[in-house]
């Protein structure tokens, strides 16, 4: 019995040691820890998945319209100013008294234009090419050509050029009448001579009249229109032309307020110049003023929703129809009068020979007077004030 007890402890100890050795030898191996990749450390995905949704881009619109936008470079010879000391008796002897021709210097300017016809017609601003001795047009494909002025209209600040090149890309024409505040627009031109550039914005307002031109119906936008963009294209999100860029609010700082001439006006000017050689506009021959808001209500008309005739030109269609000074015009062809600018544009858009019905108040009596629209007399560029902030300036003319 003693012998059994003596041998039991060594045997149990050996079995325990053997069990530990076997467990360590045959236990399941756990995977070794792997180092984390950098995206996992930063909390991002281990791999970047491709972007499957369609991106927001106007590249297709630009690709469609950009070949039609051209850079315009003009050169003009101007007399060089002589020193005021030349006529001073004290200093006159120091100047050569030879009868030399007056020295001249070359001035250059730049702008933009839009090809609107495969026959080579280009729309741009009048102030871009006014009084230029040479006009060079650089196309988007690198070709260049000398351009001739087919016609110019200072009253809208538009001009039509023509180049003799083939395989041109006319820009698709959109509808400026359907432009809405908030619509996305793109301005394409040659700002500061950097080359063709695109800026993006929205239509901020329509029907703006600023007193820059005689006839105005500007589209306002916050797309950047800088010096050199004048005459370039304002397009919609599909690449259609809806305006000709013409002015910014302040050329010394970016205010996000720029203006374009509606394409409807531009195409009308183009067609008249190509067909008639000049712009044909309707005319009545009256001078009007807005009825002041403080004027008493008369005949059911609440000021300022009316125009008062202050002058009727002798022999004009208005005089022939019987219109008089003091008449208050409330409706034109059944449409209520809004303001002088709107009414001037409305009459100018009529064709000479058309009949127009005017509803007027004369001594509190309502009358309807019919007049035959005449041809508006031509206005020269000299009768319009010099350019201001990249656009022509001038007071509105009477309808």
CATH of 282-375, one of 1.10.287.110, 2.30.42.10, 3.20.20.190, 3.40.50.1370: 2.30.42.10
More reliable by pLDDT, 254 or 350: 350
Residue boundaries of the structural domains of the chain: 176-276, 282-375
DSSP label at residue 113: E
Q: Which of 25-29, 118-122, 378-382: highest mean pLDDT?
A: 118-122
DSSP class per residue in 47-87: SPPP--SPP---HHHHHHHGGGEEEEEEEEEEEPPPPGGGG
Q: What is the CATH number of domain 176-276?
A: 2.40.10.10
Residue by residue, DSSP assigns 296-328 as PPBTTB-TTSSEEEEEE-TTSHHHHHT--TT-E
**Catalytic residue among 68, 199, 204, 230, which?**
230
Judged against a pLDDT cut of 50, whether residue 395 lies above it is answered with no
Q: What is the pLDDT of residues 68-116, one digit of tens each?
A: 999 999 988 766 555 555 565 655 555 555 455 555 555 577 899 999 9
Query: Which pTM value belongs to this model?
Result: 0.72
Q: Does the pLDDT at position 373 exceed 50?
A: yes
Which residue among the candidates 68, 109, 112, 127 is catalytic per the annotation? 127
| Separation CA 68–CA 113 (nearest Å) | 8
Residue of 68, 109, 153, 157 marked catalytic: 157
Are 231 and 239 spatial neighbours (Cβ–Cβ below 8 Å)? no
230 part of the active site: yes
At residue 388's C-alpha, the angle toward residues 177 and 272, to 5°, is 45
Active site residue 127: yes
Query: Would you tell me how many other CB atoms lie within 10 Å of the CB of residue 285?
Result: 22
Cβ-contact 348, 376 below 8 angstroms: yes
The answer to whether residue 286 scores a pLDDT higher than 60 is: yes
Task: Give residue for tokens 């991106």.
Answer: 55
């Amino acid at each position: 019995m003693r012998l059994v007890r003596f041998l039991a402890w060594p045997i149990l100890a050996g079995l325990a040691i053997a069990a530990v050795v076997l467990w360590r030898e045959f236990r399941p191996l756990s995977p070794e820890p792997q180092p984390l990749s950098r995206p996992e450390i930063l909390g991002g995905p281990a791999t970047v998945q491709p972007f499957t949704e369609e991106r927001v881009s106007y590249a297709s619109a630009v690709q469609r319209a950009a070949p039609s936008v051209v850079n315009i470079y003009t050169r003009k010879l101007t007399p060089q100013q002589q020193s005021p000391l030349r006529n001073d008796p004290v200093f006159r002897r120091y100047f050569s008294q030879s009868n030399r021709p007056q020295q001249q210097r070359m001035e250059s300017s730049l702008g933009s234009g839009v090809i609107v016809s495969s026959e080579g017609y280009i729309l741009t601003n009048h102030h871009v090419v006014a009084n230029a001795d040479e006009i060079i047009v650089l196309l988007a494909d690198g070709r260049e050509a000398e351009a001739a002025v087919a016609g110019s209209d200072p009253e809208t600040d538009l001009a039509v050029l023509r180049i003799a090149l083939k395989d041109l890309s006319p820009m698709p024409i959109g509808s400026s009448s359907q432009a809405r505040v908030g619509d996305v627009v793109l301005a394409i031109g040659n700002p500061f001579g950097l080359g063709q550039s695109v800026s993006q914005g929205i239509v901020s307002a329509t029907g703006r009249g600023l007193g820059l031109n005689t006839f105005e119906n500007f589209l306002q936008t916050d797309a950047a229109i800088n010096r050199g963009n004048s005459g370039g294209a304002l397009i919609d999100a599909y690449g259609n032309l809806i305006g000709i860029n013409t002015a910014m609010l302040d050329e010394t700082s970016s205010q996000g307020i720029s203006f374009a001439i509606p394409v409807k006006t531009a195409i009308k000017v183009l067609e008249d110049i190509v067909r008639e050689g000049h712009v044909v506009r309707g005319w009545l021959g009256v001078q009007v003023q807005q009825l002041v808001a403080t004027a008493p209500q008369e005949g059911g008309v609440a000021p300022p929703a009316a125009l008062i005739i202050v002058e009727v030109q002798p022999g004009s269609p208005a005089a022939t129809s019987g219109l008089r000074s003091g008449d208050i015009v409330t409706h034109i062809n059944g449409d209520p009068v809004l303001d002088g600018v709107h009414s001037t544009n409305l009459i100018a858009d009529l064709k000479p020979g058309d009949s127009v019905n005017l509803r007027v108040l004369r001594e509190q009596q309502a009358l309807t007077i019919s007049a035959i629209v005449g041809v508006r007399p031509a206005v020269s560029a000299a009768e319009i004030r010099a350019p201001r902030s990249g656009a022509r300036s001038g007071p509105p003319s009477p309808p």
